Amino acid sequence: MSGREVGGAADVCVVGLGPTGRALAHRAAVAGMRVVAVDPRPDRLWGPTYSCWVDELPKWLDHGAIASRIEAPVVWTDAEHRIQRPYCVLSKQGLRDALPLDDARVVTGRARTVEAHRVELADGSEVRAATVFDTRGQAAPGSRRTASAHGIFVDEDTAAPMVRPGEGLLLDWRPENGAGPDEPPSFLYAVPLGDGTVIFEETSLGLRGGMPQHELRRRTVNRLAAHGIRLRGDEPTEAAHYPLDAAVPKAGRGQVIPFGSRGGMMHPITGYCVADSLALVDTALEAVARGADPIEALWPWQARAVHWMRMRGVYGLGRLTTPQSLAMFDAFFTRPPRQQRALLSAHDDYTALGTALFMTVATTWPFRWRYDLVGWTNRNRWVDWDYGLPRLPETSAHN
């Protein structure tokens, strides 16, 4: 059955206007394609605060999208590592403004069926297009490997004992969150947002099913208290809970093209996806323009090898204790810059990534901990861990 057609005949239909879908729709329109974009709330500002390495952003993106820049973010293990690579927090409004959709047809609606050349909306109308990109994001993780975070927005003056303007804590593994060495690990991420606030976000990566918000909040409050930072208790917050282990799509013409977090572009270890997806938008669209398979263009074997190795990485990460995580990150952050990049961001630098992983495992001490990293021992260490009920009222850790 054929429904009422909206949007006219399109070259490209983009289903989902998160950051990756909006970037696709924007660049397709800039390339002169007829674009229809579908989202139930196309004008909504995105919820999460997105960050990335500055050098990951594509050249075409207006740098007005950057809200805050950190020249040398810090990683704390047993020692302080200053990473000589500029990092940035993106402005929600700035990123949106940098991806205008004036030349695309934007349809407000929820897709019910997404097919290779046809998208049916919940109201029964449909869009037809030569190519359909699926950028609807990901489903809830269930018991999969998960990124969980609880972020508290604190004003700059209050945050100053831990994070000053222009500085940022990428991974803070100092033993200040109140969790013992035999509890599932988490670290603090804290960066200035460029609007007078700093986000303090306790984060766990790779645990199956993730870590509950109340536990992450308790740990964040403990860390702040360790630095004499008092919260009022009514500070705004953000929550993250999403899967890290999405598979890469199979190549093959004549199918819907999954893109962004929907299309395997979620980095299995860092939980980042925005900058890499933005950087890959033109690769996908160039393939469309020359009649090639975008999935093949996006995912050559080198990129698939990188994804495969990162998946091994997240499996390893999810079974480590806090002391093991510290030792492993200590080993990793002494690798040369190219190897660090290969793990943290590069899409297809498989030789450097292979070396980085091998050397990280080989230089993690004591020796027996390597068995956990590669999964010979303690494979399911934190599975079904009982976090109990919330233990502390909002701000009592520092009262």
Ligand X SMILES: Cc1cc2nc3c(=O)[nH]c(=O)nc-3n(C[C@H](O)[C@H](O)[C@H](O)COP(=O)(O)OP(=O)(O)OC[C@H]3O[C@@H](n4cnc5c(N)ncnc54)[C@H](O)[C@@H]3O)c2cc1C
Burial class (CB in 10 A: 0-12, 13-18, 19+), 301: exposed
Q: Quick check: 137 binds ligand X (CB under 6 A)?
A: yes
| Span near ligand X by CB under 6 A; candidates 163-171, 234-242, 247-255, 308-316 | 234-242
Of 60, 40, 55, 47, residue with least CA distance to 19: 47
**Residues 354-383, interacting with ligand X (CB under 6 A):** none
Rounded (to 5) percent helix, strand, coil in the chain: 30, 25, 45
| Span near ligand X by CB under 6 A; candidates 64-72, 236-244, 325-333, 347-355 | 236-244
In angstroms, the Cα distances linking 382 to 185, 210, 322, 390 are: 10, 10, 12, 19
From CA 175, how far away is CA 172, in angstroms rounded? 9
| Span near ligand X by CB under 6 A; candidates 32-40, 163-171, 283-291, 300-308 | 32-40
Side by side, the strands of the sheet bearing 87-90 are 51-53, 87-90, 66-70
DSSP of 270-328, one letter per residue? T---HHHHHHHHHHHHHHHHTT--HHHHH--HHHHHHHHHHHHHHHHHTT--HHHHHHH
Site string for ligand X, 40-79 (x = CB under 6 A): xx------xxxxx---------------------------
Residue placing its CB nearer to ligand X in the complex, 49 or 68: 49
Q: Quick check: 261 binds ligand X (CB under 6 A)?
A: yes
**Residues 98-127, interacting with ligand X (CB under 6 A):** 110-111
Site size for ligand X (CB under 6 A):
33
| Span near ligand X by CB under 6 A; candidates 267-275, 287-295, 338-346, 351-359 | 267-275
Choice from 6, 11, 13, 21 touching ligand X (CB under 6 A): 21
Q: Quick check: 39 binds ligand X (CB under 6 A)?
A: yes
Q: Quick check: 135 binds ligand X (CB under 6 A)?
A: yes
Residue placing its CB nearer to ligand X in the complex, 177 or 261: 261
Which of helix, strand or coil describes residue 10? Answer: strand
182, 115 Cβ separation under 8 angstroms: no
Q: Quick check: 272 binds ligand X (CB under 6 A)?
A: yes
Choice from 260, 264, 294, 316 touching ligand X (CB under 6 A): 260
Residues in contact with ligand X by CB under 6 A are 15-21, 38-41, 48-52, 110-111, 135-137, 149, 238, 240, 242, 260-262, 271-275
